[in-house]
Amino acid sequence: MSTIKYIIGFIFLAVIMYSCEENYERSAGGDIVITNPVLNALTENEFILDAPEEGDDGDFLFRTTWSRPRISYENGLPVDTKNMSYAVEAGILSQNFESKVIVDETDGLFSDIYSATLYKIAESLAGEDFEGTQNIELRIVATYEGSSDSIISNSIPVVVSKVAQWEPEELTIRFKQAAGSWSEFAVYAWGESEVYGGWPGQVLTANAEGWYSFTVPTNRPVNLIINNNGAGQQFDFLNDPMESACYEFDTDNNTFTAVDCPSLPITIRWKYVGSDWTSFGIYAWGGDPVGETFGAWPGQMPTPDAEGWCTVTVPAGQSAGNVIFNNGVGGDGGQFDLSMSITEDICFEITSDSYTVVDCN
């Protein structure tokens, strides 16, 4: 009896299983659903970069990585995509990639960025404006064979700062022979050009205190050689000096030492462009160590040169003090205070009650 029950149960189960069996095969259907690639954030996104050398990739900075986009039908079946490729694009931050450059194109899921590449990206996007800091952003654009639409990732910011480039300026070098017996001095330069002419270069003359001086122009590179006016002695001096400075020379040992620069005389020039004054004076009070720098009132009364310029000199080590221009008499319309300190050579055009600082050249 139990055997009959087992047989009946087996038959019943077989019937149920057969009735539930369905010959089903899933097929593509519905719209295509795209999950865009995700560009991963950088661990560091601020970089200070030198202008790259020609043909040099520079230093490795970072690796960008991203996920592969997921492309499927609504029913979950994947879309057959061929030749998936990616473009790394850069644009100016918050400008929605209105202008952009292609950083890299690859079929992988990463791209390595080097300093020369990042510098050129910022320079290309900012142009002449790339003088300080440039905020850019990167994104990934994916494409595959047969698709007409681009698949765009999120964007990540990158801050690129340009290393300040030294721009040479004209400067003055002064020196004094503290030890040694050279009787003549000349400066010669080689580099971009012989800025002081052929050997032995520019012959120099000392002032009353024994200081020599010469101007270093903007022609760079410049390598300076001090010599005794071509009489057989010389030594290498400065290469591309960056600022005005003073030195003491030991010509016995061909050495030099940087020292504090001594004060220099200050030249004040002015030209009267008014119509009332016929004589021109300059008075100053509060100077140091001499209180009245140009003597008692009305001070010095120089005679204008052929072009109408008056000139006075503040001695080295003396402060000018509080300057008053005057016509030798003073009073209303005959004098006015100069409301500025004079610490270096300067030129003015003046009227009976005002002044304008002008170029001395």
Which of 339, 299, 344 minimizes the C-alpha distance to 353?
339
Question: In this structure, are residues 280 and 304 in contact, taking their beta carbons and an 8 Å threshold?
Answer: yes
Domain 266-358 has CATH 3.30.70: no
On the 0-12 / 13-18 / 19+ scale of CB atoms within 10 A, 321 is buried
| CATH code for the part of the protein at 32-162 | 2.60.40.10
User: CA–CA separation, 352 vs 274, rounded Å?
Assistant: 6
Burial 128-156, CB ≥16 within 10 A → b, else e: eebeeebbbbbbbbbbbeebeeebbbebb
Which of 185, 174, 343 minimizes the C-alpha distance to 244?
174
Specify the pLDDT at position 19.
Answer: 47
User: Which regions in the chain score pLDDT beneath 50?
Assistant: 15, 18-24
Strand partners, 139: 89, 155
Q: Do domains 171-259 and 266-358 have the same CATH topology?
A: yes
Specify the pLDDT at position 2.
Answer: 55
For residue 104, count other CB atoms closer than 10 A to its CB: 18
Specify the pLDDT at position 23.
Answer: 45
* Domain map (residue ranges) of the chain: 32-162, 171-259, 266-358
Q: What residues contact residue 337 under an 8 Å CB cut-off, 6+ apart?
A: 322, 323, 324
Specify the pLDDT at position 3.
Answer: 60
Q: What residues contact residue 67 under an 8 Å CB cut-off, 6+ apart?
A: 37, 38, 40, 109
| CATH code for the part of the protein at 171-259 | 2.60.40.10
Burial 189-209, CB ≥16 within 10 A → b, else e: beeeeebbeeebbeebeeeee
Specify the pLDDT at position 51.
Answer: 87
> CA dihedral in degrees (284, 287, 291, 292; nearest 10)?
-20
